[in-house]
Structure 1
Amino acid sequence: MRWEAFLEQIQERGEYATSREAERAARTVLALLGAHLVGEVRAELAARLPETLALILLNPLQAAEPLSPDRFVRATAAWIEGATEQTATWDVGAVLSVTADAAGEELIRRVLIQLPPGYDLLFGRPQRT
């Protein structure tokens, strides 16, 4: 997906005033997500993102342990200046739902297998239990 189109979709879903805000959210959320994915799934997801964001996903800091969805949101809030858990939830939802659209259902299903329960809601893809 092209950089501009990806950011435009995030900006629209996140209702950000500027593309810079959308980019900040995308960089933060995808860096945190990349720390939780491994192997072929991470590489396939990166291949469906704009190059700059693919590199962020592929070169994350390593997570000491998988974060629950709530802790993922709190970590996002900690990395975005002035963010609250509520605004971080909005950021995560905007970025991950656009990422899911770019990836497609089959790949997102495999991504969700690598993540703790509850991430399906962050991606805007609720799963039946």
Structure 2
Amino acid sequence: MRMNWDAFLAAVRERGEYPAREEAERAARVVLGLLGAHLVGDVRAELAARLPDTLALVLLNPLQAHEPLSPERFVRATSAWIEGASERTATWDVGAVLSVVSDLAGEELMNRILLQLPPGYDLLFGTPQRPG
């Protein structure tokens, strides 16, 4: 079942506690663009089918990754693509977006997604935790 644009952004905005919708949208576009570079085949297509059309296109036409990024490098890449972001804020952005993706994907598809990613990504798909 495809989630609509407003509902997806509202969920990301709530998880990320963003004051502005634009911040949630920017985080969603960057994180899904990077995630799309790591997923292939049916897994990427099935996830795209559940995302709002605009974000499905971002996932299916990803930012280029020359090699699979470790979770730490994925966060660093996210911070590089979001103006003014630090690794700490990028970790928050990644968690806000990917926790919504995880809910949307469901357990079976999430297991298949995680099989395509380097170890440790399961932590990125959890709800963001405030730094100590």
TM-score band by shorter chain is over 0.9
Residues 38-63 of structure 1: CA deviation (Å, up to 9, x unaligned):
00000000000000000000011332
Counterpart of 1:103 in 2: which secondary structure?
helix
In structure 1, stretches of 5+ residues that fail to align are: none
The aligned residue for residue 53 of structure 1 is: 55
Counterpart of 2:9 in 1: which secondary structure?
helix
| Structure 1 stretches of at least 4 aligned residues deviating more than 2 Å after TM superposition | none
In 1, the alpha carbon distance for the partners of 2:64 and 2:24 equals 24
Q: Residue 124 of structure 1: CA displacement?
A: 1.0
Q: What amino acid does structure 1 have at the position aligned with 2:15? A: R
Q: Residue 73 of structure 2 is aligned with which of 27, 47, 71?
A: 71
Are residues 1:16 and 2:18 paired? yes
In structure 2, stretches of 5+ residues that fail to align are: 128-132
Q: What amino acid does structure 2 have at the position aligned with 1:49? A: L
TM-score by length of 1: 0.95
The aligned residue for residue 104 of structure 1 is: 106
In 2, the alpha carbon distance for the partners of 1:88 and 1:60 equals 18
Identity of aligned residues (%): 78
Q: RMSD of the TM alignment (CA)?
A: 0.9
Counterpart of 1:104 in 2: which secondary structure?
helix
Q: What amino acid does structure 1 have at the position aligned with 2:125? A: F
The aligned residue for residue 82 of structure 2 is: 80
Q: What amino acid does structure 2 have at the position aligned with 1:26? A: A
TM-score by length of 2: 0.93
